């Protein structure tokens, strides 16, 4: 599936190469006409949307790197979780209710996980946000015709970056005991390193399996909520919105039932992310209705074009399939 996704991304990139050359047009005419400028080139506020989208991506990456280090710090500075007797987990009423419901339905843990796998919520959200949302904006399909892919992407990246920063501050302020008693020993070195260089080395390693005490506001919930917000906002359809958020609620309930997060973490992650996304509506300028993108035919792709567009997708595929930490 990863290879298919990489090939689809590469094919879409090659199929949507813009036909216009704004640089040559400026040189030829001496100036660019405001009526022919593409919304992906500028949002009317002095900075190109592509530049803003790239800066938003860098902002999010910086936040995630900082969060990754603090996930280690919050566990390393919570000595009660390092050796028995481990602190007891807090009472989670949401988890109690979910386990009672599963018991009433005669569902075992593996049955619940099988249901989650069958719905495949994560990939459904990726399809709704990426295929249905961003691609729809780029191709000017239906209700997405007045939205810009770069603007929607910028808004989503800013939302995720802000949400993850709030999450980092939150779990640093108040440390919650993990629902998995021996979590620290299975994730981090024991005893705790006593030199700064070792701390930096451990904190720089991607926390692919998650942390232990970074529980206030779920990182999982922030990512899936952003994807849901993108898909729902672009579709602008009540029935579709109900379907997406119902899938998301089911995914969160399973996460709570399995004990990976407290129910309040999932709740706060979804609410916080949705509110941030809504509050950032003003950063997304609308595209002039009726403006269409012109694309070069696939037959015009040179070998250089194929390499430039296919290489990043294949590199991403190699990283995902080869790296254990991806």
Cβ neighbours, 10 Å, residue 68? 18
Q: Quick check: 137 pLDDT over 90?
A: no
Each residue's pLDDT tens digit, 244-281? 899 899 999 999 998 888 999 999 999 999 999 999 99
Please tell me which residue, 256 or 1, carries the higher pLDDT value.
Answer: 256
Average pLDDT over residues 27-34: 42
Instruction: List all residues 6 or more positions away from 129 whose beta carbon is below 8 Å from its beta carbon.
Output: 156, 226, 227, 228, 230, 231
Q: Quick check: 96 pLDDT over 90?
A: yes
Q: Is there a contact between 209 and 203 (Cβ–Cβ < 8 Å)?
A: no
**Residue 126 class from Cβ within 10 Å (0-12 exposed, 13-18 middle, 19+ buried)?**
middle
**Mean of per-residue pLDDT scores for the chain:** 81
Alpha-carbon distance of 189 to 208, in angstroms, equals 16
Structure tokens at 318: 């190699």
Q: Is there a contact between 10 and 298 (Cβ–Cβ < 8 Å)?
A: no
What pLDDT is attached to residue 318?
A: 80
Predicted confidence band of residue 60 (pLDDT cuts 50, 70, 90): very high
What pLDDT is attached to residue 24?
A: 40
Distance from CA of residue 184 to its chain's centroid? 26
Instruction: List all residues 6 or more positions away from 69 whose beta carbon is below 8 Å from its beta carbon.
Output: 200, 203, 204
Q: Quick check: 111 pLDDT over 70?
A: yes
Bridge-partner residues for 295, per DSSP? 18
Q: What are the structural domain ranges in the chain?
A: 1-11+48-82+92-285
Alpha-carbon distance of 314 to 153, in angstroms, equals 22
Signed CA dihedral, 132, 137, 138, 142: sign only = positive
Q: Is 95 helix (H, G, I), strand (E, B) or coil?
A: helix
Alpha-carbon distance of 26 to 213, in angstroms, equals 55
Please tell me which residue, 316 or 99, carries the higher pLDDT value.
Answer: 99
Predicted confidence band of residue 145 (pLDDT cuts 50, 70, 90): confident
Cβ neighbours, 10 Å, residue 317? 18
Alpha-carbon distance of 310 to 312, in angstroms, equals 6
What pLDDT is attached to residue 21?
A: 42
Alpha-carbon distance of 126 to 236, in angstroms, equals 17
Instruction: List all residues 6 or more positions away from 130 whose beta carbon is below 8 Å from its beta carbon.
Output: 227
Each residue's pLDDT tens digit, 207-257? 877 888 888 899 999 999 999 999 888 887 889 889 889 989 999 999 999
Alpha-carbon distance of 184 to 87, in angstroms, equals 12
Instruction: List all residues 6 or more positions away from 280 whose beta carbon is below 8 Å from its beta carbon.
Output: 155, 158, 159
What single-letter DSSP state applies at residue 283?
G
What pLDDT is attached to residue 252?
A: 93
Please report the DSSP string for 39-108 in residue order. Answer: TTT--SSSS-HHHHHHHHHHHHHHHHHHHHHHHHHHHHT-GGGTSSSPPPPPP-HHHHHHHHHHHHTT--
Q: Is there a contact between 216 and 265 (Cβ–Cβ < 8 Å)?
A: yes
Each residue's pLDDT tens digit, 36-56? 444 444 545 567 878 888 899
Alpha-carbon distance of 270 to 268, in angstroms, equals 5
């Amino acid at each position: 599936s990863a290879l298919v996704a990489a090939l689809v991304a590469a094919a879409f990139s090659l199929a949507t190469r813009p036909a216009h050359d704004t640089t040559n047009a400026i040189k030829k005419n001496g100036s660019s006409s405001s009526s022919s400028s593409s919304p992906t080139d500028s949002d009317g506020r002095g900075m190109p949307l592509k530049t803003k989208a790239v800066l938003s991506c860098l902002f999010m990456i910086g936040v995630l790197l900082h969060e990754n280090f603090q996930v280690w710090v919050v566990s390393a500075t919570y000595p009660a979780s390092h050796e028995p007797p481990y602190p007891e987990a807090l009472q989670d009423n949401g988890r109690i209710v979910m386990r009672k419901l599963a018991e009433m339905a005669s569902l075992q843990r593996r049955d619940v996980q099988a249901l989650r796998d069958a719905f495949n919520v994560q990939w459904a959200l990726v399809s709704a946000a990426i295929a249905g949302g961003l691609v729809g904006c780029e191709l000017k399909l239906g209700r997405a015709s007045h939205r810009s892919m770069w603007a929607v992407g910028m808004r989503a990246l800013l939302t995720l970056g802000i949400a993850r920063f709030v999450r980092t501050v939150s779990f640093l302020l108040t440390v919650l005991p993990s629902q998995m008693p021996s979590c620290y020993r299975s994730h981090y070195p024991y005893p705790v390193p006593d030199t700064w260089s070792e701390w930096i080395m451990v904190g720089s390693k991607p926390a692919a399996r998650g942390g232990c005490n970074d529980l206030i506001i779920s990182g999982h919930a922030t990512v899936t909520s952003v994807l849901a917000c993108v898909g729902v906002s672009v579709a602008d359809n009540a029935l579709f919105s109900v379907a997406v958020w119902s899938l998301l609620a089911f995914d969160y309930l399973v996460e709570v039932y399995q004990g990976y997060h407290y129910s309040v973490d999932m709740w706060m992650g979804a609410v916080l992310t949705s509110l941030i996304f809504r509050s950032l509506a003003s950063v997304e300028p609308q595209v002039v209705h009726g403006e269409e993108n012109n694309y070069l035919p696939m037959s015009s792709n040179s070998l250089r074009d194929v390499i430039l567009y296919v290489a990043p997708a294949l590199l991403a595929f190699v990283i995902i399939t080869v790296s254990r930490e991806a």
